Amino acid sequence: ENGEVLKIVEQKDASEYERQVKEINTGTYVFDNKRLFEALKNINTNNAQGEYYLTDVISIFRNNGEKVGAYVLHDFDESLGVNDRVALATAEDIMRRRINKKHMVNGVTFQNPAATYIDVDAEIASDVMIEANVTLKGNTKVGSGSVLTNGTYLVDATIGENVVITNSMIEQSVVKDGVTIGPFAHVRPDSTLEKNVHIGNFVEVKSSIVGEDTKAGHLTYIGNATVGSEVNFGAGTIIANYDGQHKFKTTIGNNVFVGSNSTIIAPVTLGDNALTAAGSTISDDVEKDALAIGRGRQVNKAGYALNKPHHPNNKK
């Protein structure tokens, strides 16, 4: 009546006239505590159930001349309660569909919206492609033209434009325009990948800055390092940055070529245009334009295998 609530009546106690009312009680209330506690003293069990109804306080308020207002919901989903894990999953599904719809309306493509999980605070530019089973958590931002493939997981990450991330995890890091990552890569917190960096399969980056056009294609760990532009990391390169108690810094200049299976023991600096031979262990600084070789020299012993059991001449 006049936008106010007269009373709330249980279905079993309602008259035929009252049952024609289409509005329902969703069970959500806001009370003045002092007035509520006074009203509770006056409720009784004079009803079909023989129970105390909290909702009787509405008519008590009205009889005392109090005003009782109602907030009318235009979407029934807004009234859903969560009392168990099933209801929680239902509510989460509703929110997920709303969030994903908002992004699709704004020009984001979802391969499978039902299998994509976007937090409410995530920001996604138009013309981003998101495949199934992608998760964006926290304050993640994704720039226009980027592609997030199946299994990608981003947490508080800032992703530039035209980035391609394939089945990889990025945490609390900045990935600039044109970078390619994955598959199966992990960019850990406090890292920055500058423009056009390539981080390939089974590569991990942590607390590092990686310069423009640098490539780490396979099986590499880059930790606590500042890496220049146009550096190439060969497969199996490891930056050993931890001695069991402290983390140490590595600095790698521009246009450095790190040979496959190199171990770089921090703290160390590799100057511009330096090279490390494959299989080297580098524990000292390498000056600009130098080649560092840190491995044992190969020795071939002729005929050595002739006396070994595996040799065909010695097999029975």
Catalytic residues: 218
**Cα dihedral 255, 256, 261, 267 sign:** negative
* CA distance linking residue 178 with residue 160, whole number of Å: 7
What number of other Cβ atoms are within 10 A of residue 259's Cβ?
22
**Cα torsion for 261, 265, 266, 270, to the nearest 10°?**
-60
Q: How far is 208 from 248, CA to CA, in rounded Å?
A: 12
One-letter amino acid at 56 equals: D
Nearest by Cα to 9 from 202, 283, 20, 126 = 20
**By three-state DSSP, how is residue 216 classified?**
strand
